[in-house]
């Protein structure tokens, strides 16, 4: 199984534990793209609808192209109140879009799973001229229960050395990944906005979140159980049973410089 397909192994847990996105992020997207009620949007890799719901609530007609059949099934159930949302199962790179161009392409925390050599061209091909490309990058940065995340690296060093690191970087040392759009002739008017959010988890909630990560899923069962047990012991016995994780969400925007003819 390819690593980007592992998320489909537990779609219900993914829906329950993956964070949603700040409302202000969609305010920025709407303003940049002049996206009003009825705007036509393609979402790449919607998962179980973490970003989709916020767009649907604005009256946008969202077509989500999701690789995981189980993820898409959960998304359909959770988005059943929005008839303008359509979920398509398959790889975005292989999807045949309808002839009418879209107003925006949105990809939230999934862009890194696409081929860097072709993903921007594939995305812009479905857009009207000057349609919006919107990419959301999610980072774990220093802050919140920083002492826990520093101590947790010992668990990773022993049980998952491929994921081991020195701990999350300070926000000001995490660059916003704009280079791909800035350096491409496919888009223009590149802009970016950063949003910072602290989320607090009980021990079991945090372990459930980790169980949705591809790096955790790919571990052999014994090492996975040992890693989660090590982290649970830290949270329960040294950090009072809950921890806070700080996220940054980087919204990177561009306008298609070619798009499809009108």
Q: Establish if 30 belongs to a structural domain.
A: yes
User: At 187, which CATH number?
Assistant: 3.40.50.150
Q: Which residues contact 67 (CB under 8 A, 6 or more apart)?
A: 4, 5, 8, 45, 89, 90, 91, 92
Grade residue 7 by pLDDT with cuts at 50, 70 and 90: low
Any bridge partners for residue 40, and if so which? 61
| Nearest-angstrom CA–CA distance, 231 and 236 | 9
Half-sphere exposure of 34 (CA within 13 A, CB side): 4
Q: Establish if 122 belongs to a structural domain.
A: yes
How many other C-beta atoms are found inside a 10 Å radius of the C-beta of residue 25?
22
Q: pLDDT value at position 105?
A: 99
Q: What is the pLDDT of residues 23-49, one digit of tens each?
A: 999 999 999 999 999 999 999 999 999
Q: pLDDT value at position 4?
A: 56
Q: Establish if 261 belongs to a structural domain.
A: no
Q: What is the pLDDT of residues 171-191, one digit of tens each?
A: 999 999 999 999 999 999 999
Q: pLDDT value at position 260?
A: 42
Model confidence at 262: pLDDT above 60: no
Q: Establish if 121 belongs to a structural domain.
A: yes
Model confidence at 12: pLDDT above 70: yes
Model confidence at 166: pLDDT above 90: no
Q: pLDDT value at position 133?
A: 99
What proportion of the chain, given as a percentage, has pLDDT over 90?
89
| Nearest-angstrom CA–CA distance, 44 and 67 | 9
Say how many domains are in the chain.
Answer: 1
The DSSP code for 170 is P
Overall average pLDDT of the 69-77 stretch:
96
Q: Establish if 45 belongs to a structural domain.
A: yes
Model confidence at 254: pLDDT above 90: yes
Q: Which two tokens stand for residue 123?
A: 């995305």
Q: Establish if 204 belongs to a structural domain.
A: no
Q: Establish if 189 belongs to a structural domain.
A: yes
Q: pLDDT value at position 261?
A: 45
Q: Establish if 224 belongs to a structural domain.
A: no
Range of 188's domain?
A: 3-141+170-198+246-256
Q: What is the pLDDT of residues 228-253, one digit of tens each?
A: 999 999 999 999 999 999 999 999 99
Q: pLDDT value at position 6?
A: 65
CA–CA distance from 122 to each of 97, 127, 141 (Å)?
Answer: 11, 10, 30
59-72 burial string, b = 16+ CB within 10 Å, else e?
ebbbbbbbbbebbb
């Amino acid at each position: 199984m390819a690593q980007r397909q592992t998320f489909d192994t537990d779609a219900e847990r993914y829906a329950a534990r993956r964070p949603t996105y700040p409302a202000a992020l969609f305010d920025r997207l709407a303003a940049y793209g002049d996206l009003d009620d009825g705007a036509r949007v393609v979402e790449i890799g919607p998962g179980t609808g973490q970003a989709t719901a916020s767009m649907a609530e604005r009256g946008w007609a969202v077509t989500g192209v999701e690789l995981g059949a189980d993820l898409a099934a959960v998304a359909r159930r959770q988005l059943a109140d929005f008839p303008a949302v359509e979920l398509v199962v398959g790889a975005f790179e292989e999807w045949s879009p309808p002839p009418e161009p879209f107003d925006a392409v949105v990809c939230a925390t999934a862009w890194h799973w696409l081929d860097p050599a072709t993903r921007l061209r594939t995305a812009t091909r479905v857009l009207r001229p000057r349609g919006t490309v919107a990419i959301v990058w999610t980072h774990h940065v220093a802050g919140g229960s920083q002492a826990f995340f520093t101590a947790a690296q010992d668990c990773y060093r022993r049980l998952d050395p491929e994921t081991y690191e020195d701990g999350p970087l300070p926000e000001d040392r995490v660059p916003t990944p704009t280079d791909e759009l800035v350096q491409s002739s496919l888009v223009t008017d590149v802009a970016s906005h950063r949003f910072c959010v602290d989320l607090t988890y009980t021990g079991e909630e945090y372990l459930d979140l980790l169980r949705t990560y591809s790096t955790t899923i790919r571990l052999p069962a014994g090492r996975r159980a040992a890693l989660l047990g090590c982290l649970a012991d830290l949270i329960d016995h040294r950090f009072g049973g809950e921890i806070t994780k700080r996220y940054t969400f980087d919204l990177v925007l561009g306008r298609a410089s070619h798009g499809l003819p009108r």
